[in-house]
Amino acid sequence: MISTVEPSKEDVTAIQTVINQFLQERLKPKLDKLKEGEEEKRQKRLESHQPEAWIADAARRVGHLQQVTHAIKYTHPDAKGTSLRSPGNTAAGNALIATHTLNGSATPDVVGNAGDLDVYAFLRLSVGGKTLLDLASESNPALAEAFSSDPETAHVWMHAFASLLDPKGQPSSHKLAKQIYWPLDGSGYHLLAPLFPTSLVHRVYNRIHEDRFSDATKASRKARPLPAMESEAKAGSPR
């Protein structure tokens, strides 16, 4: 559905500025690698980094990626099963620490073709406190106008980018994924395939890293009083 709301020029300009800066930052090192006389290559790279050309290509390549909170690749790098995007099991309550503990504020990861990760970096660009992915998912009219002067083209691109949040195919496990036979009452079993809680582990890692290496922690270590014996040793003069 194409929005008929008229976006403000300020919002459109802000989005275009962020996009242009991103593309220029990607283009510069590619131009710097060119040798003198490679004008044809230079022209092709300039053309491919024009906003509409690059966005059209990115909208095609985004189908190779999926945003997830539980990635199967951390279980085994060659596992081909399903990765999931899930807030966790809220019914588990506060007695268990799991993805649901993050209360919907999980930092997502992305799986797929590594050669297309620039598309994810593009969608993570932030304007006014929202990412381009957020705006695409909302069919934001300012993003549509920033993308293209043709509303239909902009709508197709936004729909493609929003599909990053969609599951890919039917859920499936793999022989290289970890699996558990869970017995049922009587006879039979469920075959469970636990997935690595990517977003939860990321949050825990960042918390530990912050507690150990942040500027505040370093300042606290410097301000900490020395033990009595160590203070006396530092105060004494060498023999």
* Domain layout of the chain by residue ranges: 9-65+112-165, 70-107+171-239
What is residue 120's predicted lDDT score, i.e. its pLDDT? 96
Who's near 22: CB < 8 A, 6+ residues apart? 121, 122, 125
Q: Give mean pLDDT, residues 41-47.
A: 95
Q: How far is CA 52 from the centre of its chain?
A: 23
Residue 231 reports pLDDT greater than 60: no
Burial category of 127 from C-beta neighbours within 10 Å (exposed 0-12, middle 13-18, buried 19 and up):
buried
For 77-117, write each residue's pLDDT tens digit: 899 889 988 888 888 888 888 888 888 787 889 999 999 99
- State residue 133's pLDDT score: 96
- Cβ-proximal residues to 239 (8 Å cutoff; 6+ apart), any chain: none
Dist. CA 45–CA 54, nearest whole Å:
10
Output 223 or 153, whichever has higher pLDDT.
Answer: 153
Strand boundaries in the chain, DSSP class E: 65-68, 109-112, 126-127, 130-131, 180-183, 189-192
What pLDDT shows up at residue 28?
A: 95
Q: With 90 as the cut, is the pLDDT of residue 7 above it?
A: no
**Backbone phi and psi for residue 235, each to the nearest 5 degrees, phi listed first:** -75, -30
Residues 152-164: what's their mean pLDDT?
96
Task: Tell me the pLDDT of the chain averaged across its residues.
Answer: 89
The pLDDT-based confidence of 221 (bands split at 50, 70, 90) is confident
| Residue 226, pLDDT above cutoff 90 | no
Pair 99, 70: CB distance under 8 Å: yes
Among 26-30, 72-76, 183-187, the range with the most confident prediction by mean pLDDT is 26-30
Work out the angle at residue 204's Cα, subtended by the Cα atoms of residues 203 and 207, and round it to the nearest 5 degrees. 85
Residue 153 has pLDDT above 90, yes or no: yes
